[in-house]
Amino acid sequence: MGGSDVSGLAGEPKLRLKTYLPGFPDFIMKILFVGNSGPVFLTHRLPLVMAALKAGHDVHVALPPSSMSHQIANYGFKFHEIPLFRSTINPLTEIRSLVALYFLYRKMRPDIIHHVTLKPVLYGSLAAHLAKIPAIANTISGLGYVFITNSFKANVLFILVKYFFKISFLHPNKRVIFQNPENLSDFLSYGLIDKKSAVLIKGSGVDIETFKPSSEPHSTPIVMLASRMLLDKGICEFVEAAREIKSEGTKVRFVLVGDVDSGNPMTLTAEQIKKWVDEDVIEWWGKQQNMSEIFSQAHIISLPSYAEGLPKVLIEACACGRPIVTTDVSGCRDTIINDENGILVPPRDSKALASAFRKLISDPQLRKRMGKAGRKIAVNEFSIEIVIQKTFTVYQDLSKSFNTQPFQ
């Protein structure tokens, strides 16, 4: 998926419905949201779901069981636990997931199903087609391990996934939402979708009321990487850049924020990260909830990822008025104007990363200027209101092929 999984919302989102509602269908719909992670749902999708609920629609959410299930069930929509796990590839388990989705869809009969991330999109789209659901929206929030890793296993899975996409995307009334133009272009070039079905909505949005600018702390500069602890987030390059700069005697702290992800084949181990901590190269703050407060402690935010959908952590950092350093890859490059709100570097290049860090560490005025520019970009391009309104327009477009109970 795209973005970090470490940020969180403090309670229910403060929805400004007069902004969200234009373009939303003016009749009651039963909408089902399907994802593969409870924690990611809370950080990335909850505002959209709550906006639909507050607009008076019959809203359901289906997710695998997690430590967040009880919290998710208390928001007021109808919650369904499903056997859909992102890290498994056992054929029997996968068939079970597909069948469970099919029977859930047949029982519920929603008007629109919105799938998020690859597995729900793949299995859910096929199940929705078989169950004759009127309309589906699919969000591709980054292409993940299968698409960016050049290993034999990943290449085989890539061939299978492309074939499965062609089958899953047979539904006649669908929209596929991409978070960056490059992913959209890739799916068109693979022949997986047509132009009519493709929609570009940049990211999952940032709450600009929660993520606000703050003055830099008057302390040793902190360069922060907030993400799941995965190799493809560029963490090893971040650590090498930190090692290089600290060996020069520069007074600076390099901080990792986020947890390991045992369900992902690209995860680092806690032992490896603790080894870097013991070497005094980086600090590891682990998983954090109040990311606006965490960002206020930093001077520079970095995500030197190998590929993303559109990283939420970077637009949150921009909203907080912090300069960003990221890589010239899909998704990441869509959050930055080079030398305006941050610095763009080549992927997998710790030397270039270190050079960008040096430039910003040594120049507080440059950081301030870039932070102001980033805030402006976040407000104008990535606010949660913009994302939700564009998503509601997708629902409206899909709803033209059917009708439901009018509002009373």
**Do 70 and 99 lie in a common domain?**
yes
Q: Is pLDDT above 80 for 27?
A: no
Cα–Cα distance, 265 to 144 (Å, whole number):
11
**Do 180 and 304 lie in a common domain?**
no
Residue 408: per-residue pLDDT: 36
Q: Which amino acid is at 195?
A: K
Cα–Cα distance, 35 to 120 (Å, whole number):
6
Average pLDDT estimate for 17-22: 46
**Do 127 and 226 lie in a common domain?**
no
Cα–Cα distance, 241 to 236 (Å, whole number):
9
User: Positive or negative, the Cα torsion across 195, 97, 128, 56?
Assistant: negative
Q: What phi-psi label fits residue 389: left (phi over 0), alpha (psi between -120 and 50 degrees) or beta?
A: alpha
Q: How many other β-carbons are positioned within 10 Å of the β-carbon of residue 319?
A: 25
**Do 298 and 353 lie in a common domain?**
yes
Q: How many domains does the chain have?
A: 2
H helices present in 329-383, as ranges: 350-361, 364-381
Average pLDDT estimate for 245-262: 96
> 213 lies in a domain?
no
What would you report as the CA-atom Rg of the chain, rounded to the nearest whole angstrom? 21
pLDDT-derived band at 26, boundaries 50, 70, 90: low
pTM summary value? 0.87
Place of tokens 């499903």: 82
pLDDT-derived band at 9, boundaries 50, 70, 90: very low
> 50 lies in a domain?
yes
**Do 36 and 129 lie in a common domain?**
yes
Q: Is pLDDT above 70 for 231?
A: yes
The phi, psi pair for 211, rounded to 5°, reads -95, 95
**Do 329 and 390 lie in a common domain?**
no
**Do 200 and 243 lie in a common domain?**
no
- The pLDDT tens digits for 297-323 are 999 999 999 999 999 999 999 999 999
**Do 130 and 230 lie in a common domain?**
no
Residue 394 exposure: Cα atoms within 13 Å on the Cβ side: 29
**Do 251 and 365 lie in a common domain?**
yes
Q: Please tell me whether residue 325 adopts helix, strand or coil conformation.
A: strand
> 281 lies in a domain?
yes
Tokens linked to 57 = 């629609």
> 7 lies in a domain?
no
> 27 lies in a domain?
yes
Distance, C-alpha 342 to centroid of its chain: 20
**Do 44 and 190 lie in a common domain?**
yes
Cα–Cα distance, 310 to 68 (Å, whole number):
24
**Do 105 and 172 lie in a common domain?**
yes
Residue 407: per-residue pLDDT: 37
* Domain interval for residue 303: 222-381
**Residue with the larger pLDDT of the pair 1 and 47:** 47
> 9 lies in a domain?
no
Q: Which of 13, 67, 73, 127 is nearest to 259 (CA)?
A: 67
Would strands 283-286 and 253-257 be described as parallel, antiparallel, or unpaired?
parallel
State the CATH number of the domain containing residue 35.
3.40.50.2000
Lowest mean pLDDT among 245-254, 351-360, 391-400: 391-400
DSSP-derived secondary structure for 33-99? EE-S-HHHIIIIIHHHHHHHHHTT-EEEEEE---TTHHHHHTSSSEEEE----TT---HHHHHHHHH
**Do 250 and 269 lie in a common domain?**
yes
Residue 18 exposure: Cα atoms within 13 Å on the Cβ side: 0
Q: What percent of the chain has pLDDT over 90?
A: 74
Cα–Cα distance, 268 to 276 (Å, whole number):
12
> 4 lies in a domain?
no
Q: What percent of the chain has pLDDT over 70?
A: 87
Q: Which of 3-17, 78-92, 158-172, 352-366 has the highest mean pLDDT?
A: 352-366
> 8 lies in a domain?
no
